[in-house]
Amino acid sequence: MEREEPNMLPNHKDPNAISPQKDFDAFSSSISHDLRMPLRVIQGYAQMTLEDYSGRNLDDRGQAFLKRIRDCAIRLDKLLEDLLAYTRLGSEGGRMEPIALDEFIDDICQDCMGTRFARIEVHHPLGRVWGHRALLFQVFSNLINNALKYVAPGVTPHVVIRSETHGSALRIWVEDNGIGIKPQNHQRIFEIFERLHHESKYPGSGLGLAIVRKAVESMKGEVGLVSDEGKGSRFWIELLQHDSLSSSVRKSIAVPQLIS
């Protein structure tokens, strides 16, 4: 005789049940406070000792060791920051909205350039997409920072940002004159902690492109690249174009909610 599945789950939620969100908040707060705080203390004391004791009680060897301690603490702190950004993706809340890319990307370029000697060329107008501001900010910051970073020694980075229509989508390209990536590594670099270079040559956490992929997928978009070793890289992301929708269609479309 067939037994009926017992209905184990009540259809109301127990307020005392542990929710995944609570679990996640505890994890984030543990990374922020319990792990990052002591690291900052290590970093701070190493720096203070270097400043106060160099040339007095601290010889060259001692200074070199302390610098290693400080730099490792800084590196681990950056890694934890990126890991936190990765796990937080999609949990910020907020809705997709139309984003005019011209000013948005100009501002990100300014931030990324900082005091670096480089050239960034933005081909206006870029257009408007449906996106989530915070996620899109991370996507372009990571792509542009990588384009500026992965150049051969002595080469001035030259980055070109442009867009083109692909049906109802807008494809935005971030192109560089850097070291390029062999085709067999094109999938791999989007995985978490996958890096193709040693820390001493090009520092990084191996999370930047994993963040890009996860963020773009959360916005129902796609990401890809065209590149080969020594030939520069051309990364692209594709998102739903805002202006491709007629106003009557636009009114009837529910703005896609970000998945968490």
* CB atoms near residue 22 (< 10 Å): 10
Residue 225 bridge partners (DSSP): 235
**Under the criterion CB under 6 A, does residue 196 sit at the interface with ligand ADP?**
yes
Nearest distance from C-beta of residue 245 to ligand ADP, angstroms:
32
Report the distance separating Cα 94 and Cα 248, nearest Å.
24
x/- binding map, residues 147-186, to ligand ADP, per CB under 6 A? x--x-------------------------x-xx-x-----
Give the β-pairing of 128-131 and 97-100: antiparallel
Give the β-pairing of 158-166 and 119-122: parallel
Nearest distance from C-beta of residue 179 to ligand ADP, angstroms:
5
**Selected range binding ligand ADP among 26-34, 128-136, 192-200, 216-224, rule: CB under 6 A:** 192-200
Report the distance separating Cα 135 and Cα 216, nearest Å.
8
- Amino acid present at 91: S
Q: Which residues contact 254 (CB under 8 A, 6 or more apart)?
A: none
Burial 40-77 (b: 16+ CB within 10 A, else e): eebbeebbebbeeeeeeebeeeeeeebeebbeebbebb
Query: Toward ligand ADP, which CB reaches closer, 181 or 258?
Result: 181
How many residues line the site for ligand ADP (CB under 6 A)? 21
**Under the criterion CB under 6 A, does residue 197 sit at the interface with ligand ADP?**
yes
Question: Which residue is it, tokens 């931030």?
Answer: 111
**Selected range binding ligand ADP among 6-14, 21-29, 44-52, 144-152, rule: CB under 6 A:** 144-152
x/- binding map, residues 219-248, to ligand ADP, per CB under 6 A? --------------x---------------
- Encoding tokens for residue 134? 């915070």
Nearest distance from C-beta of residue 68 to ligand ADP, angstroms:
20
Q: Which of 88, 133, 158, 195 binds ligand ADP (CB under 6 A)?
A: 195
**Under the criterion CB under 6 A, does residue 98 sit at the interface with ligand ADP?**
no
**Selected range binding ligand ADP among 93-101, 117-125, 145-153, 242-250, rule: CB under 6 A:** 145-153
Give the β-pairing of 233-240 and 222-227: antiparallel
Which residues of the shown chain bind ligand ADP in the complex (CB under 6 A)?
A: 142, 146-147, 150, 176, 178-179, 181, 189, 194-197, 204-210, 233
